[in-house]
Structure formats: structure tokens, C-alpha cells
Structure 1
Amino acid sequence: MRIAMIGTGYVGLVSGACFSDFGHHVTCVDKDGDKIAALRRGEIPIFEPGLDALVASNVKAGRLDFTTDLAQPVAEADAVFIAVGTPSRRGDGHADLTYVHTAAREIAKALAGFTVVITKSTVPVGTGDEVERLIREANPSADVVVASNPEFLREGAAIRDFKFPDRIVVGTSDERGRKVLGDIYRPLSLNQAPLMFTARRTAELIKYAANAFLATKITFINEIADLSEKVGADVQEVARGIGLDNRIGSKFLHAGPGFGGSCFPKDTRALVKIALDHDVQLRIVESVLAVNDNRKRAMARKVSNALGGNLRGKTIAVLGLTFKPDTDDMREAPSIPLVTGLLDMGAKVRAHDPVGMEQARRELPDIEYCEDPYVCAAGADALVIVTEWVQFRALDLSRLKREMAQPIVVDLRNIYRPEEMATLGFIYESVGRGPEPRG
């Protein structure tokens, strides 16, 4: 199969590289000439474990290439994927479909022969209808099927998610479209990946519903964490106790500072707006958004409380800035409202992140960045663990204590055991684990 991938962002680049690894010939298209030039040099614009090697091997094999010229790859393609950004629109929270609509119009002009055009970007219900209308308006003679094929990739584990998916959702009622997408994903049949064919609008809604449900699980366990702290329970044991019920499951039941990233906040807001446009109120999802926003802001108060309620002139060391480990993505990261809140309370903030500091500087320019967690902790009145990078799970705690001005640790990811921290003489605050003994 010949595939044109429009967009070389997170979804487009990972999907294009994985499709080429299946044996298809993939051309990734982007208007950003600097990005395309960098990709041709083997420079990957995002941090994703294993992606650099995957891109390099398939470029070398001649199955993957990059261009700014859309016309030829689309004309030669059996399938054209739209994988451009759909950020939240300023002012109302709707998904901004400007890039999707522009891509549809440009694709239409270049089509030659039967082609399946697939939206892989996360788009509101009915976007496929509009994409098809735009293509037929620009090119009435086009022999085209428009389908939906939402992505379900986790940043930091995207390649494995693509190659070993829980499911592949394809939204089209056209038999020719089903055959092309079935052929594209046939290499995954050995992994017995469920290939689910459904109507286009249903596929579009599946993506939003999935993200909203996972965001709800996170928010639910965070509220249970608050209750656990008040009643002296351990939220981690509560989560394990309910997660062993296979109707509930253990995933996304990890209490913390709230969800962030490129998908959950954007997609839950967009789902609420889609529902309101159709006179439906999603009260649960609305509450999830409100609770999550409040939780992120509350984390700075949690740090303040650990220091007696006064941060004026205090130095706070922050470990982890990205919204999750194994990515450099700072979009809606909990660290942003946390650090902003600490600064507003008069604290001086130092921070360290294994890969995300360059991106963090754009969001948080008024703090000090350290290349080492121990340098970050030196002289600090408190240390806050915000992102659960594996590098932070095995810190030399004795050395950490010696470096700090006060042995106060606020662990927003519960990666250490309270009893161990107390034995080492730390004042240790975690999430949802009740009153802990003081060292």
C-alpha cells in the first residue's frame, strides 16, 4: 500500500513510522519546511522512546520519506491520512478544525484514482461529513471514500500501542473503504488485534467517549484520595481493592495532581461542547473538568501546608515537569499551575526534568532549571515530586536529606513508602494516604 500521512506531529509521525514498518510505503507531509528538513536529517522533533530508531530504519529501507509537497504523495496514494492538529479553539473550548478543513481542500485537488481519505486526528462527531463535503465541492469527480480511524496512543508507549493495540476502530460503511483499511492493518492480524468496523460518526464519538471515561476514572480516584486523607485510609490500597474487580480494572486509578497532556483536557472540553450543540448536558464530564482544574491549583496549597502555611522566601525543588514520564510534552501539565501557585505565594522554585526542561522554559520562564536532582534539592526547604519518572524512584534518599535545608518531601505520585521516609527522618506528605508519622 502507498500511504500519504498529512501532518508530522505526534500522531502523524508515530503512525507513519509504524505503517512503514508494516511494509507500506509512507510519505509524511508537512508545511513546516524546517521540520521536514530536520526529519530528513534524522532529527526527531518529539521525545518518544524508540521513535528515532524506527524512523531511521524505515527511511534507510526506502519505505518512509518526508516532503512539503502534498500533491504527488496524495496522487499516488491508496490511502491518505489526515493527522493534523485539532487544538482547543480560543474562547469556547470547541476543537479547532482549521487545519483539518485546509488539508481536505488541498487533498481534493491532488486526488487521482480511487483513494480512501481517513481522519486520524481527534475530531468532533460529523467532521467526516464535512471533510467529504469539502472534497466533493473542490473536486466533484473524485473517486473517494472518507473514513474515520481514531488513534489511541499513549505518549511514552505509542509504538507498542500502535503495534499491539487493544482495538482498531474504523468508521466507514463503504465496502471499498473497509477493504483498503483492512489491508493496511492486516499485519496486525498476527497479534489478533480486534478490528472494529462501524459507522463514521460512531467511530468519531468512540474516541471522545474513551478519553472522557479515562479522565473520569482519574478524577474519581483523586476525590477518593482526598477522602482517604481525612479518614486515615490508604488510597493505593483502595484503588487496588476496587481495581481487582474486573468490571472496574486497575488502570487509571492512580491518585495524583490531576490529568494533563494533549488529549484528556482538550477532548473532554470538546465533548462537552459537542453535547451542548446537540442540546445534551454531560454533567459527569463537566464535573470531571471542574474537579481536575481545582485539583491542579490545590497542589500548591498542599506544598504550603507542609511548610506551615508560609512559603515567603522559601526555596522549593520540583522534580518532574512534563505531564507524564517518557515524554517531553508540557501541554496542560500539572506542574504549570503548581509552580505558578508556588511563585504567587512568594517561593523561589528550582526544577529538574530528565527531558522536558527546554519545553518547560517556554511555559515557566521565571524559575531556575537544574541538570541534576541533587543540585535541584541543594538548600531547598521542600522537595516536590510531580512527574513519576523512573529516575526519581531510586534517589539516594540519605544524600537528598543532606542536600536539603529541611527534610520535607511532598510526593504527588506516591512513589515512596511513608514508613521508609519516616525512618530516614523526612517529613513526608503524599496523596491520599492519611496522616503519616513524622520523622
Structure 2
Amino acid sequence: MKIAMVGTGYVGLVTGTCFADSGNRVTCVDINAAKIADLNAGKIPIYEPGLEELVVRNSEAGRLKFTTDLAAAVKDAELVYLGVGTPQGDDGAADLSALWAVVDGLAPHLKPDAAVVIKSTVPVGTNAETFARLREKTGRDCHVASNPEFLKEGAAIDDFMKPDRVVVGVRDPQVGEKLRLLYAPFLRTEKPFLVMSPESAELTKYVANAMLATKISFINTMANLTEKLGGDINDVRRGIGHDSRIGFAFLFPGVGYGGSCFPKDVRALEAMFERAGIDPVMLKAVDVINEAQKRTLLDKMTEFYEGQFAGKTFAIWGLAFKPRTDDIREAPALVLIDNLLAAGAKLRVHDPEAADNVRAIYGDKLTYCDQPLETLDGADALAINTEWAEFRQPDMNDVKRRLNAPVIFDGRNLYDRGLMQELGFTYYSIGRQTVRS
């Protein structure tokens, strides 16, 4: 099929590239000329494992192209996918201004039998509004479908190639069948292709992310209680996780969620509740709990140092909101950095992929280290925010030797408390009793 993918952000670039890899002809469009020039030169604007190889291979094969020319991309396309950003607006709701600009811009160039497919995360009713706008602009009824994405940063290629399910919202069964054929190469293991109304499809994306965010805030709340009462959240997590009704997914305590989806989508769903006249009590709690949890390492450090951070140097491992990405949007590490800098501390930081994005914000206020152990030299303590694999089994004797004092604040529960005690560390973690040297 000939596909136009409007928007080369995280969702658009991954989706367009994966469609091209299954043999489709995909043209990706973006208004950012510099980004398009980089993509045509094989330079990828985001870090996502496996993506660069797919982009280069499909570009060289002629199946994947990049342009700033919306009209040229749309005029021959059977499917026009919309993957533009829908950031959080001042009122908490999704800002659809970029989406509407694209819809208005593509309307004069849309083939009569083409379908516009909304991949962006959008509030319920956006599909219907898109349908109305296109009818006003073209003078005819146009096909509009919703196809929400369920990609995890750091595993997006695998998620797309081997989806748990594909959700589409359509009014015309023929459009649903065309999308089923498009996704057929990715559903050979009998994963479901779920056809529903556009409104249900739009809501499914928000409900899925809100459910996952709720699980994270729930386990963090229970971790804080468990720690106060002298228990170990890992024991509690095992005790509930083996219940088949609960499971283990997203029940790992930590310093809160971040990224481009969970915070924005929870707040957008809150706004939808409020517009519907329903108080989103639970969603408000999920968001409030998460924002408070981002301060948990700071609170532990404040307790240990009695609030005296001036003149101290701290090593920070992990800047991205999660491993296997360079995304620092709403990352818990930034909350810690902001507060420690404001209190007069010096910071030595390391992240395998996100350092450049952090440098763009903080400049020379931080010392950036190429290797995790390098950050420890001359530091008074280590704080861990992101569970990158390379942080899991460092040489602890080397860690202890490099630090000014054997103190670790672990926001991801990476280490065994017994080992930390044996090695003589003061070790703070989440939902577990503190080990004191």
C-alpha cells in the first residue's frame, strides 16, 4: 500500500518505518526541514533500539522516504496516517492545534477513496471532528479511522512487529478490512485485530495508559507504607503478584513514572471526565501520588544530610525516565537535579543515552561523565534514578572505594540489602528498611 505518515516524532517514525519494512511504500512528512534532512542522511532524531537499522535499510530499498511536502505525500496515498504531537495544554487537556493544521492542510490533496487514520493520542470525539472538518473542506464524506498506538519506548520495534493486539475504530467496514490487511504481517501468531467504534478506540488508548499509571502509583503508595511499618515491599509484591488476578507487570516500586505518555494521558483523561461532569477522583490521586513520589530520593537524602546539601557532591546514575530511551520528559531525575542544585550541591551525572538532552537544559551546571563509575570519584553519595542494565551489577568494592562515603540512595531497588550490609554501605531504597553502615 502507499502510505503517508504525517509527523516524524516517536510514534510516526516508528510506525512509518515498520510499515515500510513489511513492503509498503511509506512517505513520512514533517514541517521540520532540519529533521527531514537528517533523516534523509540516515540520522535518527531519537534513540530507540533497532530503529536506525530499519530506517537505513528501508530508505536504501526505496520503500521509505522523508519530505516536507505534505501535498506530494498525500496525493497518491491510500492511507494517510496522522502521527503529530498532541501535547498537554494549559488546561490539562490535549492540545490539538497541530492536528487540525494538518487536517486542514491535507484536505485539498486527499484522494476520494483514501482513508485518514489517526495514530496520535487524541480525546474522544477527535475522529468525529476530523470527519466533519474534512467534509467541510472537501465537500464530500471522507473515510476517517482511529488506530491508537501501544508502543513502549525502548521496545517500540518489537511492540509494533509483535503486538498484543491491534485496535482500530471505523465507521466503514471496508476501511476496517483495509487496515486488517495492512496489519496482517504482524498478526500471524493470532493476536487479535479489534474493530470498534472510533470513540471506543480513542478511549481505549487513554484507559490503557491510565490503568498502567494507576498500578505504578498504587505499588509506590504501598511501598511507602511498607517501609514505615518495617516490612519489605519486594516480599509483598511477590505475595500479591502470584495471584493470577493481579500479576507482576508494572508493580515495581520506584521514584515514579515520567515520559511523554503517562503524565499527559492521565491529565487529558481527567479533563475528559471533567467535561463529562464526572469528578476524576482516582485519576487525580494517581497524578498527585506520582508527583510526590518523584521527591522520594530527595526526601531520603534530606533526612540523611539533615537538609544540608551545600558543598556536597553527588553522583547520579540515570537521567532518562526509563532505560533504553533518551527521553527525559517529566523524568524523576530532573526533580532531584533541580532541588539539589537549588540547595547548593554539585552533581556528577551519567546516562547511556540521555546526557545530551540533559545538557541542553542544564549546560555546565552539571558534570557529565562517560562512564558510571567515573561519576563516583569525589562524590559524597550515589543516587540511582533509572534502572539501566549496566547499573545492576557494578563492582561494589570499586563503588565503595571511589565514593567519599559508602552511601547509596537507590530509587529502583537494584541491589540486595544483605549484600549492601555485608559490604558496609548505608543503603536507602524504596519500600524496604534502610541499611546503615
Where on the TM-score scale, by shorter chain, does this alignment land: which range? over 0.9
Give unpaired runs (5+ residues) of structure 2: none
Question: Is 2:120 aligned against 1:118?
Answer: no
Partner of 2:79: 79
Question: Is 2:31 aligned against 1:37?
Answer: no
Q: Equivalents in 2 of 1:99, 1:64: separation in Å?
A: 23
Give secondary structure in 1 for the equivalent of 2:294.
helix
Amino acid at match of 1:429: Y
Amino acid at match of 2:123: P
Asked whether the equivalents of residues 300 and 339 of structure 1 are also in contact (C-alpha less than 8 Å), the reply is: no
CA deviation string 1:108-156 (max 9, x = no partner): 1111230110110000110111111111111113x62101000000000
Asked whether the equivalents of residues 306 and 429 of structure 1 are also in contact (C-alpha less than 8 Å), the reply is: no
Name which of structure 1's ranges 344-353 and 425-434 shifts more when overlaid on structure 2: 344-353
Same amino acid, percent of matched pairs? 48
Partner of 1:417: 416
CA deviation string 1:40-76 (max 9, x = no partner): 1110000000000011111122211111111122111
Deviation at 1:395, TM superposition (A): 1.2
Deviation at 1:363, TM superposition (A): 3.1
Asked whether the equivalents of residues 17 and 54 of structure 1 are also in contact (C-alpha less than 8 Å), the reply is: yes
Asked whether the equivalents of residues 306 and 410 of structure 1 are also in contact (C-alpha less than 8 Å), the reply is: no
Give secondary structure in 2 for the equivalent of 1:434.
coil
Partner of 1:261: 259
RMSD value, Cα: 1.2
Aligned length: 436
Q: Equivalents in 2 of 1:345, 1:34: separation in Å?
A: 38
Partner of 2:338: 340
Give secondary structure in 2 for the equivalent of 1:364.
helix
Asked whether the equivalents of residues 381 and 407 of structure 2 are also in contact (C-alpha less than 8 Å), the reply is: yes
Question: Is 2:166 aligned against 1:168?
Answer: yes
Partner of 1:145: 143
Amino acid at match of 1:79: L
Q: Equivalents in 2 of 1:173, 1:349: separation in Å?
A: 55
Correspondent of 1:304 among 302, 305, 315: 302
Partner of 1:23: 23
Partner of 1:158: 156
Deviation at 1:344, TM superposition (A): 2.5
Asked whether the equivalents of residues 7 and 82 of structure 2 are also in contact (C-alpha less than 8 Å), the reply is: yes
Deviation at 1:435, TM superposition (A): 3.8
Asked whether the equivalents of residues 81 and 120 of structure 1 are also in contact (C-alpha less than 8 Å), the reply is: yes
Partner of 2:370: 371
Partner of 1:211: 209
Question: Is 2:424 aligned against 1:430?
Answer: no
Q: Equivalents in 1 of 2:299, 2:338: separation in Å?
A: 11
Output the TM-score relative to the length of structure 2: 0.97
Amino acid at match of 1:161: D
Q: Equivalents in 2 of 1:298, 1:341: separation in Å?
A: 12
Amino acid at match of 2:50: G
Asked whether the equivalents of residues 297 and 409 of structure 2 are also in contact (C-alpha less than 8 Å), the reply is: no
Amino acid at match of 2:340: L
Give secondary structure in 2 for the equivalent of 1:173.
coil
Give unpaired runs (5+ residues) of structure 1: none
Give secondary structure in 2 for the equivalent of 1:299.
helix
Give secondary structure in 1 for the equivalent of 2:298.
helix
Amino acid at match of 2:46: I
Q: Equivalents in 1 of 2:280, 2:242: separation in Å?
A: 28
Asked whether the equivalents of residues 79 and 180 of structure 1 are also in contact (C-alpha less than 8 Å), the reply is: no
Counterparts of residues 200-239 of structure 1 (less than 5 Å): 200-239=198-237
Give secondary structure in 2 for the equivalent of 1:219.
helix
Counterparts of residues 282-361 of structure 1 (less than 5 Å): 282-361=280-359
Asked whether the equivalents of residues 385 and 411 of structure 1 are also in contact (C-alpha less than 8 Å), the reply is: yes
Output the TM-score relative to the length of structure 1: 0.97
Partner of 1:181: 179
Deviation at 1:308, TM superposition (A): 4.3
Question: Is 2:427 aligned against 1:398?
Answer: no
Q: Equivalents in 1 of 2:36, 2:374: separation in Å?
A: 37
